[in-house]
Amino acid sequence: MHCLDTVRERAKSLWSLVVGLRVTGDNMLRPQITVHYPRRTVESLAGYRGHVQLVGKADNPAEPRCICCMMCVNSCPSACITVQVKEEAPAPEAPKPRDKAPAAPAEAVAGTAPDRAVEHGGRLIPRTRDGLVPPPEAPAAAAKSAARPAAKAAGKGEDKAGDKPVKKAAKKAPGIWSLDFTLCSLCGTCVAVCPVDSLEYSSNVYLAGRDRREFSGMDMLARLRAGAGAAKSGPDGDAPAGGEGAA
Amino acid sequence: MNLHTLAQSLGVALPLAQMVIGLVALAAFVGVNAVLLVWMERKVAGHFQRRPGPYEVGPWGLLQTVADAVKLVGKQLFTPPGGDRTLFWAAPFTAFLPVFVMLLPLPWGRALIAYPLNLGILLVLSFAGLNVLALCLAGWGSNNKWALIGAARAVAQSVAYEIPLLLAVLAVVFMTGSLDFAAIVQIQGDMPWQWLGATQPLAFVIYVVCAVAETNRAPFDLPEAESELTAGFHTEYSGMGFGLFFLAEYANMIVVSAVATSLFLGGWKGPVLPGPWWFLLKVYALIFLIMWFRWTYPRTRFDQLLNLAWKWLIPLALANLLVTAVLVKLA
């Protein structure tokens, strides 16, 4: 009996060899997956993980969703992301909260248009996107902090109590968002940790350049604007005219 | 004037003239075929993996092998220091040259035999053993541990698989009573059911398995497995030395396929088409099958390889031979 089982087992193994041949034979008859580059190209690959790029807002594709929380900067293992908040013009008069904008606008940072700042509680808060002043519940806190002497801009502890209601309305936007792709380890941590889903992978499979410097400081803001249909810019992202759609 | 008078006028015997011409023709055939088979292997491998294989160099990538050969020729011929220089360079030639002798007695057509020999099978089997010597020389002359291990494995494998090969061929010899390839093909008919492969299927299967093992093809390519032994016995060869081993492998594939075609698949016999076309068709079909095996089956472990030969193929071949002998005697 045992030897019959062995024979049966062996016969099954031999049959599996034939099945294997059939599998590869079928494979040979199926169409090829290869795309003959450069005669043909792929449009985009859905799952392709290229470099990281910014995602525009739904109503304003040229502006990134980024809120400058710096989570991507801090979590990047290769330290290749540089984000700088769009700095606002410091109000020449001192602590008048959310009042009229200062007379002289500050200089632009990184080629973006100057924005108007509202000084509140000793900290400069950029205007909100649609230009509205911060919501009305701020006044109580504003009055409280107006009483305080003009503190240093980076006084975190001081501002904490008074800032909370105002923080809701004030949003940060990046003035510089730069990726050093030559250092990037393609881990995707930045995409994963972004709380507003402002980062996504590019699906450009044909990314190539002739110089390392084209990739050592990729200006993602310029790319976003270019992609949103604004003025074209090169891979180094010389900034297009003006900061349209800024705050 | 015919060949006979030409030979007489030149003062050489006809058989010698015939053999020399045949040898030259076979050398040309092997040369062209080596290029063709390397291309075929890469294309077949590509298509099995749903990709195109070479297609840039030349139409359908046909000139790719030529480009590779030119590259190989241009490489530096390097002898590993400390190894036996004579043996090291004797090895590729020992692997490559017997192929020409083995192709001599095969009937490529009705009268297309380079050297008709009534002991053709004996000639082929004996010169096939020289391949083992080539492997030994390569492994020893390389002065390299892994090359030596690869060579030792290759020798063990070749020796083990020669026995069932011989026994399978012997079954055919028992049935036909002749060692002459031409006579064996003559006995077979045009149609597949008239071939000796139909009456001796087990011998055919054993022969094919042994042929794949003798030529060190996957799944029995442990001696030259890149992932195991950094290329085994031909690790230290670069440029033309490697090219000769490569060439020898494909030439040996042609030899074993041609022998299988003559013995089991009816040789040049077939309806409609002239003989040589059928012979070539069958040879290439067998070579395609061997390539199919390579891209389907995983590599066997060395003990599995030897077990297969000693514990399975030899008993089966012996049993087959016994049954054949009994039936031949009774008939």
pLDDT tens for the 331 residues of chain B, in order: 566 677 667 666 777 888 889 899 999 999 899 889 999 999 999 999 988 888 888 888 889 888 988 888 888 888 888 888 888 889 988 998 999 999 999 999 888 888 888 899 999 999 988 988 998 888 888 888 878 888 888 889 999 999 999 999 999 999 999 999 999 999 998 888 889 999 999 999 999 999 999 988 878 887 776 556 566 777 778 788 888 888 898 999 999 999 999 999 998 988 888 889 999 999 999 999 999 999 999 888 888 989 999 999 999 999 999 999 999 999 8
Strand A174-179 relative to strand A218-219: parallel, antiparallel, unpaired?
A: antiparallel
Give every residue of chain A whose pLDDT is below 70, as ranges: 44, 88-170, 229-247
Residue A141 pLDDT = 47
B66 with B36: CB under 8 angstroms?
no
Query: pTM for the full model?
Result: 0.74
Cβ of B50 within 8 Å of Cβ of A17? The answer is: no
B233 with B142: CB under 8 angstroms?
yes
Residue A60 pLDDT = 84
Determine the Cα–Cα distance for residues A48 and A202; give it in Å rounded to an integer.
Answer: 7
The torsion of the CA quartet B153, B156, B162, B168, rounded to 10 degrees, works out to -90
Beta strands in chain A (DSSP E): 52-54, 81-85, 117-120, 123-126, 174-179, 199-201, 218-219
**CA nearest A17 in B: which residue?**
B297
Amino acid at A85: V
Neighbours of B101 (CB within 10 A): 17
Cβ of A20 within 8 Å of Cβ of B55? The answer is: no
Cβ of A24 within 8 Å of Cβ of B295? The answer is: yes
- Tokens coding B316: 């089966």
Q: Is A39 on the interface with B (CB under 8 A)?
A: no
With residues binned 3-state (H G I as helix, E B as strand, rest as coil), the percentages for chain B, rounded to 5, are 70, 0, 30
**CA nearest B47 in A: which residue?**
A28
Locate tokens 């649609």: which residue? Answer: A130
**CA nearest A16 in B: which residue?**
B297
Q: Is A14 on the interface with B (CB under 8 A)?
A: no
Residue B75 pLDDT = 86
Assigned architecture for domain A52-227: 2-Layer Sandwich (3.30)
B107 with B182: CB under 8 angstroms?
yes
Residue B228 pLDDT = 60
Of B44, B47, B292, the CB nearest to A21: B292
Residue B207 pLDDT = 95
The torsion of the CA quartet B96, B98, B101, B107, rounded to 10 degrees, works out to -70
Residue B231 pLDDT = 64
Contact list in A for residue B48 (CB cut-off 8 A) is 24, 27-28
The sign one gets for the Cα dihedral B9, B12, B15, B18 is: negative
Determine the Cα–Cα distance for residues A97 and A165; give it in Å rounded to an integer.
Answer: 14
Residue A168 pLDDT = 56
Q: How many angstroms away from the CA of B110 is the closest CA of chain A?
A: 34
Determine the Cα–Cα distance for residues B78 and B26; give it in Å rounded to an integer.
Answer: 30
Residue A132 pLDDT = 39
**CA nearest B205 in A: which residue?**
A14
Cβ of B52 within 8 Å of Cβ of A34? The answer is: yes
Mutate to test the interface with A, among B40, B43, B50, B307 (most CBs of A within 10 A): B50
DSSP B56: S
Cβ of A24 within 8 Å of Cβ of B51? The answer is: no
pLDDT digits (tens, 9 = 90+) for A117-142: 444 444 445 444 444 344 444 444 44
Q: How many angstroms away from the CA of A68 is the closest CA of chain B?
A: 46
Residue A119's SS3 state is strand
Residue B185's SS3 state is helix
Q: How many angstroms away from the CA of B155 is the closest CA of chain A?
A: 26
Of A24, A30, A36, the CB nearest to B292: A24
CA separation (Å) from B108 to B35, B254, B258? 20, 12, 9
- Tokens coding B276: 């040589």
